[in-house]
Amino acid sequence: MKVGIVGLPGSGKTSLFQALTRGAVAVDTLSSRSGRANVGVVQVPDPRLDYLAARYKPKKVTHASIEFVDGAARVTQDGGRARFGSDFFSDVRQVDALVHVVRGFESAVGEPATPLRDLQLLADELVLADLQLIETRMQRLEKQLHGVKKGTVTPASIEMGLLERLKSALEGGASLAGLELSHDEDRLVRSYDLLVLKPLIAVLNIPEEEITSPSEQTLEFREHCRTAGIREIEICAQVEKEISEFSDEEEAEFLSSMGISEPARNRLIRECYAALGLISFFTISEPEVRAWTIRVGSKAIDAAGTIHSDMARGFIRAEVAAFADVEAAGGWEEAKQKGLVHLHGKDYVVQDGDVIYIRFHV
Ligand SMILES: Nc1nc2c(ncn2[C@@H]2O[C@H](COP(=O)(O)OP(=O)(O)OP(=O)(O)O)[C@@H](O)[C@H]2O)c(=O)[nH]1
Ligand SMILES: [Mg+2]
C-alpha cells in the first residue's frame, strides 16, 4: 500500500518524508517516471506487537508496514500560482491514499501561512480532474446511446444516470459519500477510480513554537477539518525530522523531557494505516512474532492466506484471542487456560488486534 505525500511547493513534504522514513530506504520510483520520486518503507508502530515481542523474545519481530512516496505528484510554481500538471494526476492515481502537507509556518520568503486556502486549492484540483474524467465517459456513452429510443433502459442509460448524479454532486461541492448507490452503481463508481474518493489525511505543518500551544489559525484549520470530515494531524515536520535522526534511546529521552509519549510521526503512520482500511492481526511462534496486514472485514480464511497459501488451502480452524485478553492473561497459553482462545471457522471476521493460530493440514 502506497501513501503519496502531496502539497504545494515548500510545504515540508520532503522534511516529513525524511521524518517518516528516518532517513532510511529512499529508493525506487513510481512506475511511470524515473529519478524523481522516492519511496520509503515505514514500519507501523504498534505497542501490542511490542508487548508480544517482550513477552516471547522471538528471534525476529516483524511489523506491519506501508510505503510513503515523496517527489511524485509534483505541484509546480508558476509566477506565484500553483500549477497541477497532468503528471500530478497520473501520479496521484497510482497511490492508495494521500497525505496532503499544508504549510502552517511563514515561508522562507516571508509569505504568511494560508492553510485553509491551500487545503482547498488541492481539493478543488482533484474535483476538477474527476469532473473531466466523468465528462469524457459521458461523451463516450452519448455516442453509444445515439439512436436508442428515449426512455429505453440499457446498461449505458443506467450508467449515464449515475454519471449525471456524480457530476452534479461534485459541481455542487457535495461529498460523494452522501450519495445512495445501489450495489452495481457502487461497483461502477469504484471502477472509475475517482481521486476524490482516495483516502486523504491533511497534515498541517506547524511552526515549532506551536507544538505546545496552537494558534488561532491552527485551531480554525482543525475545526474546519473536523466539520468537513477530513482526517487531520498537526505536525512540525522540521522538529519531527530532527527527532527521527536520534537513536531510539535519545529519542525516548527527548520525548519524555517534553512530556510527549511518542513522536507525532507514529500517530500519522497509524492514521494512514486506518485511512487505508487496514487492520493488523498477530501470530506468535518461536522464531517470529509478527503483525500481518489485512483489510477491514477480512475473514479467517483470508488471514490464513495472507500467512501462506497452504494455510488457506488446508484450513481447518482458526484459534483466536483478542490481544487485550492475551495481555490480561499474560500470554497465549495462559489465555487458553482461561478459556479466552476461541475456535472459529473460515468465515469468522477478523478483528483488529486478534492473535491467531491457524490449524490446517497440508
Ligand atoms: N519553519 C519551518 N520550516 C520548515 C518546516 N518544515 C519544513 N520547513 C522548511 O521549508 C523548506 C521546504 O521544506 P521541504 O521539506 O523541502 O518542502 P517540500 O514540500 O519538500 O518542498 P518541494 O519539494 O520543493 O516542493 C525547507 O527550507 C525546510 O527547512 C517547519 O515545520 N517549520
Ligand atoms: Mg521536496
Residue 76 confidence (pLDDT): 79
The rounded Å distance from CA 238 to ligand 1 centre is: 7
Residue 39 confidence (pLDDT): 87
Residue 286: inside a domain: no
Residue 283: inside a domain: no
Residue 201 confidence (pLDDT): 96
Q: Name the nearest CA neighbour of 201 among 135, 264, 251, 112.
A: 264
Indicate if 260 and 171 belong to the same structural domain. Answer: no
What total of structural domains would you count in the chain? Answer: 3
Where a domain ends, among 208, 242, 275?
275
Residues 6+ apart with CB under 8 A from 179: 165, 166, 169
Indicate if 208 and 191 belong to the same structural domain. Answer: no
Q: How open is the CA angle 299-303-306, to the nearest 5 degrees?
A: 140
Indicate if 212 and 107 belong to the same structural domain. Answer: yes
Indicate if 102 and 243 belong to the same structural domain. Answer: yes
Indicate if 61 and 39 belong to the same structural domain. Answer: yes
pLDDT digits (tens, 9 = 90+) for 212-253: 889 999 999 999 999 999 999 999 999 999 988 888 899 889
Point out the ligand 1 atom lying closest to the alpha carbon of residue 71: 23
Where a domain ends, among 210, 243, 275?
275
Residue 230 confidence (pLDDT): 93
Is the distance from CB of 8 to CB of 82 less than 8 angstroms? yes
Residue 145 confidence (pLDDT): 86
Domain ranges, residue 160:
122-196
Point out the ligand 1 atom lying closest to the alpha carbon of residue 235: 31
Task: Give the CATH number for residue 158.
Answer: 1.10.150.300
Residues 6+ apart with CB under 8 A from 271: 201, 231, 233
Pick out the chain residues at pLDDT < 70. 23-36
Indicate if 6 and 105 belong to the same structural domain. Answer: yes
The rounded Å distance from CA 84 to ligand 1 centre is: 19
Residue 30 confidence (pLDDT): 52
Residue 330 confidence (pLDDT): 96
Residue 344 confidence (pLDDT): 97
Whole-number Å distance between alpha carbons of 119 and 11: 11
Residue 88 confidence (pLDDT): 80
pLDDT digits (tens, 9 = 90+) for 128-169: 999 999 999 999 999 888 888 878 888 888 899 999 999 999
Whole-number Å distance between alpha carbons of 73 and 76: 10
Task: Give the CATH number for residue 47.
Answer: 3.40.50.300
